[in-house]
Amino acid sequence: MSHLLTPLNAWHHSQNAKMASFAEWDMPIQYEGILAEHTHTRTAASIFDICHMGQIIIKGNGVKNRLSAAVSHNLETLPVGKCRYGFILTEEGTVMDDIIIYCMGEDHFFLVVNAACASNDFQTLAKRVGAEYVEDISARSGKIDLQGPKSLEVLKRVFSQDFHDLKYFSFTTINYKGVEIIVSRTGYTGELGYELYFPRDFALQLWEDLAADESVKPAGLGARDTLRLESGLSLYGHELDEKHTPAESGLIKMLTSEADYVGKEKASQVPSDVLLALKFEGRRTVRNGDIMVRASGSDEVIGVATSGSFAPSLGYAIAFAFVKKEFQDQNEFIFKSGRNELVAQKVDLPFFKEGTCRIKLN
């Protein structure tokens, strides 16, 4: 089976990265190891190849109102230079995709969408907003994430520019070596970090410039997953999907738009399930699809695990799971994992509470 390749694919192979298929892309899972890459991101700075993500431009006279009716984001309170997280919903209020929208101008928006959903997102937005306003720029765009508490220092050294004034979920545009780059203070690790957007043919140059910094190492999707899970961040296809509403996934607080957008009426409802954050006593955890039962020895299924991993920063295993809403107030839950039973306790998010993503920069 052939895979789609990011412009950094040859570099990953040259570094003997462990590669695997992700949303039809040939992606690096790890270089020196998930634990080492996870720890380096929490303590220094790592770069992640995110060129597989979809990128869409929505632009045109009066398009803000059209887009407001197509997505859950509150665009009325989104100023130029800021970005916001939200959803493309189905008519039933369930999640078609979770996306970030950047306000580039009064009627000019830049959307970043998940790789596996990109084609459907584009078709859906073209239908809801109007094809003449919507452009898929994924094929000519690149994205690198620089994440970790030392990422601000790295940016200053590499770009010879100070980004102290750039606040969380804000962005700016710079010129570097004659190339326009969007620098966004956002990320998917819970740490201080920046997402960089640029023309696709500049990916290798920028990646190598960042990798040359003394504080930077490359990290793969393995560490990206453990980092986002520790930080309590949802992954589409796991904690978010077309079977559940944002409210069921614990993200009702994101639904602030007053516009009459598709799926709005049902998005804040909890028809059947509630997403729980869980911890285990040891290193063993559940995997996506492992079932939750009503009691030890029982075969009555009351829930299912969506994500699980040993949490390197915490020293124990953690997981997300959907449970039938009538059981959500329990404090202890039992999973069947193979022939074994695993007991989990309900906890509050985020699992890892020492992340630097929201830190105020002096």
In the chain, where are the structural domains located? 9-54+139-227, 57-122, 252-346
What is the layout of strands, in order, in the sheet containing 108-113? 83-89, 95-105, 108-113, 54-59, 134-136
Pick the CATH number of 252-346 from 2.40.30.110, 3.40.50.2300, 1.10.1200.10, 3.40.50.40: 2.40.30.110
Residues 37-87: tens digit of each pLDDT: 999 999 999 999 999 999 999 999 999 999 999 999 999 999 999 999 999
Answer yes or no: are the C-beta atoms of 268 and 252 closer than 8 Å: yes
9-54+139-227 and 252-346: same fold? Answer: no
Euclidean distance between CA atoms 331 and 353, whole angstroms: 20
What pLDDT score does 234 carry? 98
What pLDDT score does 303 carry? 98
Angle between helix axes 221-230 and 34-43 (nearest 10 degrees) is 60
Give the chain's count of helices (H) and strands (E): 8, 19
What pLDDT score does 339 carry? 81
- pLDDT-flagged residues of the chain (< 70): 1-2
Answer yes or no: are the C-beta atoms of 31 and 37 closer than 8 Å: yes
Amino acid in position 161: Q
Phi, psi (deg, nearest 5) at residue 25:
-100, 145
Q: What is the DSSP letter of 44?
A: S
H helices of the chain, in order, are 9-14, 34-43, 63-68, 118-129, 151-159, 203-211, 221-230, 264-267
Tokens of 352: 């890892």
What pLDDT score does 337 carry? 81
Residues 276-309: tens digit of each pLDDT: 999 999 999 999 999 999 999 889 999 999 999 9
What pLDDT score does 1 carry? 56
Smallest CA-to-CA distance from 187 within 221, 237, 144, 251 is with 144
Go through 304-339 and write b for each residue having 16 or more CB atoms within 10 A of its CB, e for each that does not: bbbbbbbbbbeeebbbbbbbeeeebeeeebbbbeee
Residue with tokens 């049902």: 266
Phi, psi (deg, nearest 5) at residue 163:
-115, 25
What pLDDT score does 36 carry? 98
Answer yes or no: are the C-beta atoms of 290 and 336 closer than 8 Å: yes
Annotation: CATH topology of 57-122: Alpha-Beta Plaits (3.30.70)
Smallest CA-to-CA distance from 238 within 225, 227, 247 is with 225
CATH 3.90.1150.10 fits 9-54+139-227, yes or no: no
Answer yes or no: are the C-beta atoms of 89 and 72 closer than 8 Å: yes
